[in-house]
Amino acid sequence: MNLVVVSNRVSRGKPNEPMTGGLAAALLPIVEKSGAIWVGSSGRVRDGNQKEPFAEIEALGTGALAMLDLPAAHYGGYYEGFANSALWPALHSRADLIRASQEDYASYREVNAFMARALLRFQKPQSAFWIQDYHFLALGAELRALGVRQPIGFFLHTPWPTRAVIGGVPNHRELIEAMLAYDLIGFQTEEDCENFLSYAEQDLGLVVRDGVVHSHHGRTRASVFPIGIDPQQFAQLAAKAATHPDVSRLRRSLNGEKLAIGVDRLDYSKGLINRIKAFDRMWTLYPSLARSVSLLQIATPSRGAIEAYGNLQSDVAKLVSDVNGLHGEVDWTPIRYLNKGYSQAVLAGLYRTAQVGVVTPLQDGMNLVAKEYVAAQNPVDPGVLVLSKFAGAANELDTALIVNPHDIDGMARTIAVAVSMPLPERRMRWEAMMAKLRKGTIQQWFADFTDALWDSRVDRIETCPSEDVIADPLAARQLRPVTNGARFH
């Protein structure tokens, strides 16, 4: 098989470069070893009517990395617009934050179509395409419209919300119909998968049997593939990182004090405000923990041109400053707050230094920070993971201390419990989590998805929907082929 992996963001695999994207960090080791070609955005845009999309191609392990300049006229509407101001809030159940115009939607579709044209040069008879994430929901349909008949799979790294919430996205129906051009759609959790299937059945009126949606595109299987990490490799990275200057300086600065760590993109889905309020509450409820436990919060700026992110950045900064002003002492700062990215190598060492990892998103597809924190621990003296029940990772890491991020008092009490948990209980919880991580590695995820992609490949139905694909005749009348100019069947 000649695998072509596609994602908006890619990683060049420089070990010391800051890496905050869970997706890019996760895909890197498997692309390096599998010989796949990984295609994504170069982060640059290009003007004009290029005949051929421009790609910069470089070797990446046994595979290759192809970075495309995306069209300047559509980049803003695609990335800041439809992808991150309509889809992202909806996928994280924040319908109140959905902002998108029809121009943004048109740009999103243009960039999906542009990417499809660019991918043709990587197509071989034995190719399979594996598209990643919400930036490219319609890419499979675009590839089919260009005549691609090879297997095309899609994996969603975020949650998939209820029918009511996804129904708040402009053009949701057209977009989700376009997704049915994929042979296989992978989700992080059962709940995400069920939400998607229930939309297909109830809103599109399609027949869904045993996880397979029958539509005018043919058959699309929806399944669950929880993404993992390489725990062994991450543990080695953490052990080695002890001598890294940032890590040893942090250790020295603690003077025997305990440390909790949070590492997130500055995103409203990550629950940063609630987390900081929980620490505030903890220092108020348990004054003895002041001076003996501090928080290191790394919050990497993200999508700063979008209003909701700009607002969040100032809200979090203000709250950190208020909490530090209230609980701080001349020689003690409760929260060390850093707005920059760190390499995986440094992060591994920081995780190992912290006795508590706090991963408390309001909604999260998986959250690989939770898995990395666990893998980075010293087996003879592991730290404690405090994990939101709304992170996909909570399905597997059920011996973490599971919290409700909306319950500030509950979180405050749980963090206090984590700080003083005796060693035997920490080891018992940690070993159970490590066993799960060893079972569900990133390599296993890759193998499971690609095997299922081959298995689910079916002959495409070239004609209109036959009667047995329509469960509800009323919905059938509304079901129309995806239309966006002449590019579609």
Q: Residues with catalytic annotation?
A: 157, 364
Among 3, 10, 19, 23, binds ligand F6P (CB under 6 A): 23
Among 69, 104, 133, 177, binds ligand F6P (CB under 6 A): 133
| CB closer to ligand F6P, 206 vs 227 | 227
Among 11, 34, 158, 399, binds ligand F6P (CB under 6 A): 158
Q: Which stretch binds ligand F6P (CB under 6 A): 19-27, 311-319, 320-328, 400-408?
A: 19-27
Is there binding between residue 157 and ligand F6P (CB under 6 A)? yes
When CB distances to ligand F6P are compared, the closest residue is: 23
Residues sharing a CB contact under 8 Å with residue 129, sequence separation 6 or more, in sequence order: 4, 6, 119, 140, 143, 148, 150, 151, 152, 153
| CB closer to ligand F6P, 234 vs 283 | 234
| CB closer to ligand F6P, 267 vs 280 | 267
Give the separation between CA 45 and CA 78, rounded to whole angstroms: 12
Tokens matching residue 226: 């929880």
Among 74, 172, 303, 436, binds ligand F6P (CB under 6 A): 303
**Entry field: residues in the chain:** 489
Tell the smallest beta-carbon distance from residue 349 to ligand F6P (Å).
Answer: 21
Give the separation between CA 172 and CA 138, rounded to whole angstroms: 11
- Interface residues for ligand F6P in 250-289 (CB under 6 A)? 265
Tokens matching residue 303: 């999508």
Tokens matching residue 449: 């998805």
- Interface residues for ligand F6P in 44-83 (CB under 6 A)? none
Is there binding between residue 399 and ligand F6P (CB under 6 A)? no
CB 363 within 8 Å of CB 269: yes
Tell the smallest beta-carbon distance from residue 78 to ligand F6P (Å).
Answer: 12
Which residues share a beta bridge with 258? Answer: 293
Is there binding between residue 365 and ligand F6P (CB under 6 A)? yes
| CB closer to ligand F6P, 389 vs 487 | 389
In the sheet that holds 152-155, the strands lie side by side as 55-60, 63-71, 37-46, 2-6, 127-132, 152-155, 184-187, 218-224, 212-215, 207-209
CB neighbour class for 211 (10 Å; exposed up to 12, middle 13-18, buried from 19) = middle
Q: Which residues of this chain interact with ligand F6P, rule CB under 6 A?
A: 8-9, 21-23, 133, 157-158, 265, 302-303, 365
